[in-house]
Amino acid sequence: MESPPVDAPLVVRDLWFRYPSSDWVLRGVSLSVGRGEVVLVLGASGSGKTTLLRSLTGVGVWVYGGEMRGEVVVSGRRVRDLALDELRRALQVVNQNAYTHFLEHRVGLDLYYISTAIHGAERGGRVFKRVVSTFKLEGLLGRRFFELSGGQLRRAAIAKAMVWDPEVVILDEPLMWLDDEGLEELREVLITLRSMGKALLVLEHRFLGLLDLASRVFVLRSGTLSPLEHGELRHPRKLALPSRSERSSAESPGGGEPVLRAEDVWFRYERDSAWLLRGASLSVESRGDTVVVFGQNGSGKSTLLKLLSGYLVPERGRVERAPGVRAVYLPQNVYLFFTEESLRRELEVVCSRRAGGGCLERGLRTLKSLGADLDAEASPFNLSWGQAVRAALSIAMSVEDEVVLLLDEPFTGLTYADRLSLARLLADVKVPKILTVSNKETLSMLSSLPSVRVYELREGLLSAIRPGVDPEVVSAAERCRELGIYGVA
Amino acid sequence: MSLVRDFAYAFLASERVGEFGLVTRVLTPLLLLSSLSLPYVVPGSRIPLVQTAAALAYEAVLVTYLAGSRRLLGVLRLVGLFLVLGFALNLLSALLGFEPSDAAVLVTRTLRMASIVIALTLVFQLLTVGEMRLLLRGLGLERYSEMFAVAMSQLPTTLVSFSEAYVVAKLKLGRRRIAALVKPLVVDSVLNSRQVAEALYIHGIPPAPKPKLVSRRDPLMLVPAILVSLAYALL
């Protein structure tokens, strides 16, 4: 491990922070990030990573009204002594939700406006051109920010931060929603920033793809930061999908009649646009059959789920659901699943639609068995991501009718340990289900489980594959649990 | 849902706004909106069929140029839905014994309503968020200009969340309780707004640079707009 630099652009000394009427979230955090350094801070959801970020920028005090002790020094000056404009020129942040960084819908216009507002018309024009060329945004300038892929969006948001030409750049969970291609894009950007001598602080829990770039790694637990020798967490960065010859026919488990079947489905959103799905076929059968659809962002995974749910109608081909089978859809943002003020009320509402008795009791039992720490009176909107996924599954499975679960990227936002835990839980749940995945790490975890069939969705076509299991991903997940980098046990 | 999406896209600034001066881009929709609204404010005035059709035709050409025919169809589809409902109500009123409106009047009103909605979308297609903010600031509405800019920037992502919440609620609760989707959407918006506040803290809300006021291409847009509006107003 490299030793911390002496004249670092970012120095944090004995930082304590708490929100109004709460206990201390940070308890004496000390850290420094030197020029050209990438410092990785790992931590589970709720460990205080975002709070650390808010403390460094002053948002925690000025926006959230929190109390801060200790010292944050950026470019040799204490943050509390900096005017807001000076702070923005010294330190920039890219949020978890990069969509929030844009005001203009078109990327080019947004970057141009901020460049000229900061540097004036003439110099701003030059800065704009430099940033566009450095971050290879030429092809994205005319695009709308909400139409970009995850990787492109992060690249554009980082470019916007670089318009300020700060010495320090902080990225909060930059891999959130990113597929494998997005990860590669982000890595390129980080390498560029590092070569420019920027001090980079990355707060992340999906870290395997970034380990080789990091100079130092810390773990944030119980409000304190401890250094980590990360050599033992290393793993082959590129996981390979099977070659064509290794592709399997993804035999169904042979458990009886299909409960849901898509046959030769063709779909596109506009009549004059390209086909998103071109003859996709799959079926899910019996109890416990788990179908995984793997594909990059924009490959049509969510669209496929919406077709299977009956919400969208295929232009050609057909989707058939066995009589009495109900589809339940869990969206990427799992909090959108909840419509009531407590988990009990959620169950009551879902059960009120069904004639069969015992639904509520069954739901409460399932809730308990899937997540021992879930209180039925708790608001679903206050749950952690992992808890929310478990709660949604319990509610979906409470009714006696036959259900097929459609889960859109349920692993996003989870730590490695929680992913493994959820993968095992899904394998145990005896309900037919189809879930989508966009990165090979998670796919590797799922592939190790029984009764899992995997399809790859690429260029509108579904092909059955048999991906290999990377034991190092699974062992990294286990190691994370040992290190306390997990949210829900 | 694609109906809503298409309609929402009609409120996004066109890539071609830079081809015209700001004065023309502000005046054109304002002229159209004010002239098409005249029959509402002038008592006893009739809605001229030919002029209304001319206004609609001009708008159709303009929207097609700015955003493509797909966006035009998107707007017309949603407007058409409401117009069909209006027709149905008219037929129902006839069945209930009320005097139904004259068919020609119905057609003219239909065309005018479509023209007004398209003119309204033109305000948004012809001005970027930053330019609207500039105009509002010019009117002394600094605070509202910032709120407007933030609201417009988050509208697309809110619509995506709406689409997701709609699918969930429909499958989970059925069509009858579809209104339940409001709760997760409100919570989602509140959570999102915190991140927006943090992003604004770190970037601020930069004003748009002063746009060019006039352009050589302006007459191509402005002259037909003046002609159509005058023809309407003189009747």
Strands (E), A135-235: 168-172, 199-204, 216-221, 224-228
C-alpha distance across the termini of chain A, in Å: 30
pLDDT confidence of residue A129: 95
- Cα separations (Å) of A97 from A146, A438, B94, B202? 11, 18, 54, 14
Mean pLDDT of B200-204: 90
Contact between B192 and A96 using a beta-carbon 8 Å cutoff: no
**A249 pLDDT exceeds 50?**
no
Is residue A238's pLDDT more than 70? no
If DSSP states are collapsed to H, E and C, what string results for B28-62?
A: HHHHHHHHHHHHHHCCCCCCCHHHHHHHHHHHHHH
Looking at the structure, tell me whether residues A206 and A299 fall in a common domain. no
Which residues in chain A have Cβ-Cβ distances shorter than 8 Å to B19? none
Residues B143, B144, B147: CA angle, nearest 5 degrees:
95
Question: With contacts defined as CB-CB under 8 Å, which chain A residues touch B3?
Answer: none
Chain B residues whose beta carbon lies within 8 Å of the beta carbon of residue A353 = 173-174
What local confidence, expressed as pLDDT, does residue A230 receive?
A: 60
Here the tokens at position A65 are 């009204």
Model confidence at B1: pLDDT above 60? no
- Residue A151, pLDDT > 60, answer yes
Q: What is the pLDDT confidence band of residue A130, given thresholds at 50, 70 and 90?
A: very high
When pLDDT is cut at 50, 70 and 90, the band that residue A248 belongs to is very low
What does the alpha-carbon distance between residue A391 and residue A347 come to, in Å, rounded to a whole number? 10
Mutate to test the interface with A, among B126, B129, B172 (most CBs of A within 10 A): B172
Q: Is B169's CB within 8 Å of A339's CB?
A: yes
Q: How many domains does chain A have?
A: 2
Interface of B with A in 56-95 (CB under 8 A): 70
Mean pLDDT of A182-194: 91
pLDDT: is B107 or B141 the higher one? Answer: B141
Asked whether the predicted pLDDT for residue A144 surpasses 50, the reply is yes
User: Does residue A3 fall inside a structural domain?
Assistant: no
Residue A67 located in a structural domain: yes
Over residues A349-371, the pLDDT tens digits come to 888 876 566 778 878 887 777 76
In angstroms, rounded to a whole number, what is the distance separating the alpha carbons of residues B167 and A307? Answer: 11
Task: Quote the DSSP letter at residue A175.
Answer: T
Supply the CATH number for residue A103's domain.
Answer: 3.40.50.300
A229 and A302 housed in the same domain: no
Q: What pLDDT is attached to residue B46?
A: 73
Residue A144 DSSP symbol: B
Amino acid at residue number A488? V
Shared-domain flag, residues A326 and A403: yes
Q: Do B168 and A337 touch (CB under 8 A)?
A: yes
pLDDT at A226 exceeding the cut of 50: yes
pLDDT score recorded for residue A3: 57
Lowest mean pLDDT among A259-273, B67-81, B180-194: B67-81
At which of A171, A202, A233 does a domain end?
A233
- Given a cut of 90, whether residue A91 has pLDDT beyond it is yes
The nearest alpha carbon in chain A to B210 belongs to A121
A423, A454: one domain? yes
- Domain limits of chain B? 1-128+212-235, 129-207
Model confidence over A4-24: pLDDT tens digits? 566 899 999 999 999 998 899
Coil, helix or strand at residue B152: helix
A340/B171 Cβ within 8 A:
no
Give me the mean pLDDT over the A30-43 stretch: 94
Residue A7 has φ and ψ, to the nearest 5°, of -100, 55
Q: What CA–CA distance (Å, rounded) separates A84 from A87?
A: 5
A409: which 2 tokens? 């990227």
Pair A363, A456 in one domain: yes
- Are the Cβ atoms of B198 and A105 closer than 8 angstroms? no
Above 70 in pLDDT, residue A303? yes
For residues B48 and B134, which has the higher predicted lDDT (pLDDT)?
Answer: B134
With respect to residue A322, please indicate whether it lies within any of the assigned structural domains: yes
- Chain centroid, CA B7 distance in Å: 8
Confidence at B185, pLDDT banded by 50, 70, 90: very high
* Residue A252 in this model has a pLDDT that exceeds 60: no
Q: Indicate if the pLDDT at residue A109 is higher than 90.
A: yes
Same domain, A47 and A182: yes
Q: What is the pLDDT, as a whole number, of residue B26?
A: 96
Instruction: Please tell me the predicted confidence (pLDDT) of residue A400.
Output: 61
Nearest-CA distance A124 → chain B (Å): 10
Instruction: Please report the pLDDT score of residue A375 as a whole number.
Output: 82
The answer to whether B167 contacts A309, with C-beta atoms less than 8 Å apart, is yes
Contact A259, A322 (CB under 8 A): yes
Contact (Cβ atoms closer than 8 angstroms) between residue A187 and residue A165: no
Specify whether A306 is located in the same domain as A383: yes
Q: How far apart are CA A122 and CA B34, in angstroms?
A: 39
**B194 contacts on A by Cβ (under 8 Å):** 63
For residue B131, the chain A residues in CB contact (below 8 A) are: none
Give me the phi and psi of A275, to 5 degrees please: -70, 130
Structure tokens at A256: 């009886």
Q: Evaluate whether residue A488 is within a structural domain.
A: no
Strands (E), A67-144: 67-74, 77-78, 91-94
CA A444, CA B119: separation in Å to the nearest integer?
A: 53
Percentage of chain A lying above the pLDDT 70 cut:
89
B181, A106: Cβ pair inside 8 Å? no
Question: Given this model, what pLDDT does residue A256 score?
Answer: 66
Provide the pLDDT for residue A373.
67
| A452 belongs to a structural domain | yes
In this prediction, residue A441 has a pLDDT band, given cuts at 50, 70 and 90, of confident
- The torsion angle over the Cα atoms of residues A150, A155, A161 and A162, rounded to 10 degrees, is 180
B207 reaches A (C-beta below 8 A): yes
pLDDT grade for A232, boundaries at 50, 70 and 90: low
The answer, yes or no, to whether residue A46 has pLDDT greater than 80, is no
Tell me if A1 is assigned to some domain: no
The answer to whether B178 faces chain A, any CB pair under 8 Å, is no
Whether residues A323 and A466 fall in one domain = yes
Which of B136, B164, B193, B203 to substitute to test the interface with A, most A CBs within 10 Å? B203
Q: Which of A105, A161, A381 sits opposite B187 (nearest CB)?
A: A381
Q: Is B160 on the interface with A (CB under 8 A)?
A: yes
B14, B132, B168, best to mutate vs chain A, most A CBs in 10 Å: B168
Chain A touched by B167 (CB under 8 Å): yes
**pLDDT at residue B31, as a whole number:** 94
B204 touches A: beta carbon within 8 Å: yes
Residues of A in contact with B13 (CB under 8 A): 104-106, 109
- Interval A61-75 mean pLDDT: 93
Examine residue A318 and state whether it is found in any structural domain, yes or no: yes
Average pLDDT of the residues of chain A: 85
Q: How many CA atoms lie within 13 A of A302 on its CB side?
A: 17
Of B164, B171, B194, the CB nearest to A328: B171
Q: Quick one: pLDDT at residue A89?
A: 94
Q: Domain of residue A33: give its range.
A: 10-233
- Chain B residue numbers touching A173 (CB-CB < 8 A): none
The answer to whether A411 and A267 are in contact (CB under 8 A) is no
pLDDT band at B79 (very low <50, low <70, confident <90, very high): confident
At which of A209, A233, A257 does a domain end? Answer: A233
Pick the last residue of a domain from A178, A204, A233: A233
DSSP string computed for B97-162: TSPPPPHHHHHHHHHHHHHHHHHHHHHHHHS-HHHHHHHHHHTT-HHHHHHHHHHHHHHHHHHHHH
A208 and A348 inside one domain: no
Using the beta-carbon criterion (under 8 Å), do B198 and A311 form an inter-chain contact?
A: no
Over 90: is that where the pLDDT of A62 sits? no
Question: Which chain A residues are closer than 8 Å to B209 by Cβ?
Answer: 112-113, 116-117, 121, 124
- The chain A residue lying nearest B146, using CA atoms, is A103
Strand partners, A453: A291
Mean pLDDT of B23-44: 88
How many degrees, rounded to 5, is the angle at CA A402 between CA A397 and CA A408? 55
**Interface mutation vs chain A, best among B69, B202, B205, most A CBs within 10 Å:** B202
| CB spacing of B129 vs A103 below 8 angstroms | yes
Question: Are residues A219 and A273 located together in one domain of the fold?
Answer: no
Cα(A145)–Cα(A101) distance, integer angstroms = 9
Q: How confident is the model at residue A112 (pLDDT cuts 50, 70, 90)?
A: very high
Question: In this predicted structure, what is the pLDDT of residue B102?
Answer: 76
Question: Over 70: is that where the pLDDT of A486 sits?
Answer: no
Let me know: does B12 contact B132? Beta carbons within 8 Å.
no
Closest CA to A151 of A195, A204, A118, A188: A188
H helices, E strands: number in chain A? 14, 19
Residues of A in contact with B191 (CB under 8 A): 335
pLDDT band, very low/low/confident/very high, at B105 (cuts 50, 70, 90)? confident
Taking residues B195-211, what's their average pLDDT?
A: 88
Whether A385 is in a domain gets the answer yes
Which site among B72, B150, B171, B212 would you substitute to test the A interface, given the most A Cβ atoms closer than 10 Å to its Cβ?
B171
Query: Tens digit of pLDDT for each residue in A328-351?
Result: 899 988 899 999 999 999 988 888
Phi, then psi, of A136 in degrees rounded to 5: 50, 55
Residue A489 has pLDDT above 50, yes or no: no
Rounded Cα gap, residues A9 and A32, in angstroms: 8
Q: Which residues of chain A have a CB within 8 Å of the CB of B11?
A: none
Residues A334, A292, single domain; the answer is: yes
User: pLDDT band at A86, cuts 50/70/90?
Assistant: very high
Statement to judge: residues A174 and A278 lie in one domain: no
**Are A78 and A72 a contacting pair, CB within 8 Å?**
yes
User: In angstroms, how far is CA B166 from the centroid of its own chain?
Assistant: 23
**What distance in Å separates residue A60's CA from the closest CA in chain B?**
9
